[in-house]
């Protein structure tokens, strides 16, 4: 099975850029959902904590419990708790969810400022606070999410305005219940749309891992990719001119060519659509169709770099780096290289 290699230097470089942009380490919340975008949640949690980050964000309670020891608070985005935990808070995504939460749980109310995916409408804020209090919950935050912060459009501005306008009312209502609120709306792209961080926290995911892609007309932070995928050689042969390799023989050698199979395939996250159309950063061509557990390359190297930037690999299959990273097999070996 292949190996994922992680660069501490790149991660810390990215954190330095983010901390400078948002006004300090205390405002950073690292997004570690879905195994830290394929990087390994506990590995990234440990290193982020050593850097000085105190907040994290995940999707599931199970994910939160795996990394909670490293942080002061972990926000769970997509799951209703069975029972509360003193270091966990949970995103409330609708009015209907409130009645399902156990008493005493810490929650962060999501406002739909234009994403139209999850969250209450701004005019439901007071009703939501009343219901949260009646359920015996403690509201510790108000949050939202940008839908197009990485593109040059007016959408970032009007979502930002809606969220900022809501803050005074939320603070006044929170005083009635003795709640202290934090506010956060920015994802990775949103954090770099303004020189001023107006919130208590930013939720940084893809920028942390060095794969943020912004519209060319917007600021382009000099992030470094943290993750590289490597394959270990299984077998080598000389493919004779006219011979074909792999399922359905979609690649035919035009001359004698050294071909090796490597221990990564689509079961490990190597997207099958890259078959016979991808070239590694070192110029090694992928030959034929990717199999479930291995793939053939025009190489005889013992260890082969498959990709060192998920965005570049994603372009070969017409998708985005997020998808490539999130689909990386959790059973792949992961190790720090510096």
With contact defined as beta carbons under 8 Å apart, do 71 and 82 qualify? no
* CA 167 centroid distance within chain: 27
With contact defined as beta carbons under 8 Å apart, do 279 and 286 qualify? yes
User: Residue 121: its pLDDT value, please?
Assistant: 97
224 counts as catalytic: no
In the chain, where does the domain assigned CATH 2.40.37.10 lie? Answer: 227-336
Distance CA 38, CA 31 (A): 12
With contact defined as beta carbons under 8 Å apart, do 202 and 27 qualify? yes
User: Residue 83: its pLDDT value, please?
Assistant: 75
- pLDDT tens digits, 29-46: 999 999 999 999 999 999
In the chain, where does the domain assigned CATH 3.20.20.10 lie? Answer: 3-204
Distance CA 284, CA 262 (A): 12
User: Residue 105: its pLDDT value, please?
Assistant: 96
- pLDDT tens digits, 250-280: 999 999 999 999 999 999 999 999 999 999 9
What is the CATH code of the structural domain delimited by 3-204?
A: 3.20.20.10
79 pLDDT above the threshold of 80: yes
Place of tokens 């510790």: 140
Which has the closest alpha carbon to 243: 264, 258, 232, 231?
258
The percent helix, strand, coil of the chain (3-state, each to 5) is: 35, 25, 45
Residue % of the chain over a pLDDT of 70: 100
User: Residue 1: its pLDDT value, please?
Assistant: 83
266 counts as catalytic: no
84 pLDDT above the threshold of 90: no
Which has the closest alpha carbon to 64: 31, 95, 96?
31
Q: What is the pTM of this model?
A: 0.95
Residue 219: pLDDT band with limits 50, 70, 90: confident
- pLDDT tens digits, 58-73: 999 999 999 999 999 9
Catalytic residue among 177, 247, 330, 333, which?
247
182 pLDDT above the threshold of 80: yes
Residue 338: pLDDT band with limits 50, 70, 90: confident
Contacts of 192 (CB under 8 A, 6+ apart): 21, 207, 212, 214, 218, 219, 221
User: Is 2.40.37.10 the CATH classification of the domain at 227-336?
Assistant: yes
Residue 69's CB is within 10 A of a number of other CB atoms, namely: 12
* CA 79 centroid distance within chain: 17
């Amino acid at each position: 099975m292949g190996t994922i290699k992680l660069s501490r230097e790149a991660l810390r470089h990215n954190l330095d850029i983010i901390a400078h942009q948002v006004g300090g380490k205390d405002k950073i919340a690292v997004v570690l959902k879905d195994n830290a975008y394929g990087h390994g949640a506990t590995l990234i949690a440990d290193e982020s904590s050593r850097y000085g980050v105190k907040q994290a964000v995940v999707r599931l309670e199970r994910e939160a419990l795996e990394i909670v020891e490293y942080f002061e608070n972990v926000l769970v985005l997509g799951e209703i708790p069975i029972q509360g935990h003193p270091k966990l808070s949970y995103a409330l995504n609708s009015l209907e969810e409130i009645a399902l939460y156990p008493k005493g749980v810490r929650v962060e109310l999501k406002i739909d400022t234009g994403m139209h995916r999850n969250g209450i409408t701004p005019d439901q804020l007071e009703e939501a606070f009343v219901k949260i209090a009646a359920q015996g919950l403690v509201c510790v935050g108000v949050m939202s999410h940008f839908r197009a912060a990485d593109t040059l459009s007016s959408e970032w501005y009007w979502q930002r305005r809606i969220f900022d306008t809501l803050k005074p009312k939320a603070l006044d209502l929170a005083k009635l219940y003795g709640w202290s609120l934090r506010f956060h709306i920015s994802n990775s792209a949103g954090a770099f749309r303004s020189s001023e961080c107006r919130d208590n926290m930013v939720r940084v995911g893809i920028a942390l891992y060095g794969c943020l892609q912004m519209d060319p007309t917007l600021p382009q932070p000099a992030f470094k990719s943290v993750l590289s995928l490597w394959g270990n050689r299984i077998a080598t042969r000389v493919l004779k001119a006219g011979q074909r390799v792999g399922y359905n023989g979609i690649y035919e050698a035009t001359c004698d060519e050294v071909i090796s199979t490597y221990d990564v395939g689509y079961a490990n996250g190597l997207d099958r659509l890259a078959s016979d159309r991808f070239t590694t950063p070192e110029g090694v061509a992928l030959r034929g169709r990717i199999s479930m557990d291995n793939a053939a390359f025009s190489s005889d190297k013992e260890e082969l770099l498959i990709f060192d930037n998920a965005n570049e690999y994603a372009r070969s299959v017409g998708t985005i780096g997020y998808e490539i990273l999130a689909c990386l097999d959790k059973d792949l070996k992961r190790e720090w290289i510096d």
